Structure 1
Amino acid sequence: MSDKSQQPAAAPPVVDRAAFDAALDAQVVKEKQVTRLNDEVSASRRRLPMVQVADYEFEGPDGPVRLSELFGDTYQLLVQNFMFAPDWEKGCPSCTFAADNLPFNMDRLADEAIAFAMISHAPVEKLQAWRAERGWPYTWVSSYGTTYHDDWAWNSTYPDGSTGPVPGYSYYLLKDGTPYLTYSTRARGTEAILPVAQIMDRTAYGRQQDWEDSPDGWPQYPTYG
């Protein structure tokens, strides 16, 4: 595990106020370009088609729960496809980090007609044990015994030849009682809703991960160390 409790010796160069303001102004120009491009990508995302999804019957802590039931009394649903293989005893650390990043007040999502749930391949008893350990209130159901993970490529082959779950998010729309997939993302596409990662990106040292392009002497640790 990386230990960030000790302040690194390396630090940005010290300049006067005018030089700092000039450097920051140049950075803001770049960030406005990113913002405009993000708006363009979001507009394109809103024009995506959708595909019908089977109304899978998952297993919840109180019995069977269909995909359509995860919407509750609304019509939009965000699903975190949480990595938790059937033979694991604990949830994926990075997916756990992602769940810890969720809004403190999930009613903010409900106010926007968006329900939230997590789906994993492990049996529901394991999910509930990890949920209790983390203190999460979120709906979490098991796809064990269904083809959901294989149908939508939430299981994959790893570089070593083994197979297992991959992380990501699915966005659904309920139309006339039928669930449709409107968008999904995985890998670094998941970072868009991780506020801690976004906050770290704007600090002097960034995420301190070994893949980052940082100045010489900046602290860097293995990404999954």
Structure 2
Amino acid sequence: MDKLDQPAAAPPVADRSTFDAALAEQVAREKEVTRLDDRVSAARRRLPMVEVDDYTFTGPDGPVRLTDLFDGRYLLMVQNVMFDPSWDAGCPSCTWAVDNLPADMDRVADEGIAFAMVAQAPIDKLEAWRAERGWDHTWVSSYDTTYHYDWGWTRTDDEGNEGQLPGYSYYLLKDGTPYLTYMTTARGTEAILPTAHIMDRTVYGRQQDWEDSPEGWPQYPTYG
């Protein structure tokens, strides 16, 4: 069975008044979440910022500085794509996240926000994966820099094994100097994944094995 096969399990059937009452309770809970999110966003806007080196990355046409990624704007969002130098393909979940980006990224640019992706693999591997996926986003390699290590996107465990994290970095260019104003990883990346939020609102949710769902609801390995 896969996600295209309709599950046998389904919610109990109720009359309209019972459904309306249950829905009203759910909407009330969701409004609480919205108000909390507003408070969290307000706190985010009050975070301090930290100066970042103007790293020299490698693009398909040569060196690209961090400040170049602003592309004439003062705000920049960077997607840190998991792509270890030894891999021949990008991380499946990061690839899925890139595919979730708005179809028209000009809508983001219209708000004064530049977008770029950074990965640790050499640029030739990134370009090959970009061609396979059909992406046209700015994508640079940090392979010859310490960027991934400096900001924790690549970490070493107690046994000396390296591992990468997915996530987003948000920058402000002020008087020609780049500053990091916010960064998020793990489930913090879900804020800009519309497909995940669409799935959340269907009766079966994301159908992932970590979810608290009723008995009989379909669930699959998260990264299967």
Cα distance in structure 2, aligned partners of 1:192 and 1:160: 33
CA shift, 1:13, in A, is: 0.7
Runs of 4+ displaced beyond 4 Å: 158-161
Q: Hey, what does 2:40 align to over in structure 1?
A: 41
Quote the Cα distance in structure 2 between the aligned partners of 1:12 and 1:158. 44
2:143 aligns to what?
144
Question: What residue number does 1:4 align with?
Answer: 3
Tell me the secondary structure at the aligned position of residue 205 of structure 2.
coil
Alignment of 1:191-202 (within 5 A): 191-202=190-201
- Secondary structure at the counterpart of residue 192 of structure 1: helix
Q: Within 5 Å, which residues of 2 pair with 1:149-168?
A: 149-157=148-156, 162-168=161-167
* Counterpart secondary structure, 1:146: coil
Q: Which moves more between the two structures, 148-157 or 79-88?
A: 148-157
- CA shift, 1:73, in A, is 1.1
Aligned to 1:186: 185
Q: What is the count of residue pairs matched by the alignment?
A: 224
Amino acid at match of 2:202: T
Residue 162 of structure 1: how far off its partner (Å): 2.3
Gaps of 5+ in 2: none
> 2:170 — aligned with what?
171
- Cα distance in 2, alignment partners of residues 159 and 20 from structure 1: 52
Per-residue CA deviation, residues 181-222 of structure 1 (Å, 9 max, x unaligned), is 000000000000000000000000000000000000000011
Aligned partners of 1:194 and 1:101: how far apart in 2? 6
2:47 aligns to what SS in structure 1? coil
Tell me the SS of whatever aligns to 2:181: strand
**SS of corresponding position for 2:148:** helix
- Distance, in Å, in 1 between the alignment partners of 2:136 and 2:108 is 14
SS at match of 1:188: helix
What CA distance in whole angstroms lies between the structure 1 residues aligned with 2:25 and 2:198? 20
Amino acid at match of 2:117: M
SS at match of 2:18: helix
1:135 corresponds in structure 2 to 134
Deviations 1:144-188 (A, max 9, x none): 010000000000246986212210100000001110000000000
Letter in 2 for 1:113: G
Normalization by structure 1: what TM-score? 0.97
Whole-angstrom distance in 2 between the partners of 1:179 and 1:209 = 38
**1:214 corresponds to which residue?**
213
Letter aligned with residue 217 of structure 1: G
SS at 1:213's partner residue?
Answer: coil
> 2:127 and 2:103 mapped to 1: Cα distance?
20
Query: AA paired with 1:58?
Result: F
Q: Distance in 2 between matches of 1:122 and 1:69?
A: 20
Q: 2:64: which partner in 1? A: 65
Whole-Å separation in 1 of the counterparts to 2:155 and 2:98: 21
Which residue number in structure 2 is paired with residue 94 of structure 1?
93
Q: Which segments of 5 or more consecutive residues in structure 1 lack a partner in the other structure?
A: none
Match of 2:52 in 1: 53
Per-residue Cα deviation, 1:45-79 (whole angstroms, up to 9, x for no partner): 00000000000000000000000000001100000
In the aligned structure 2, how far is the partner of 1:90 from the partner of 1:148? 20
Sequence identity (%): 72
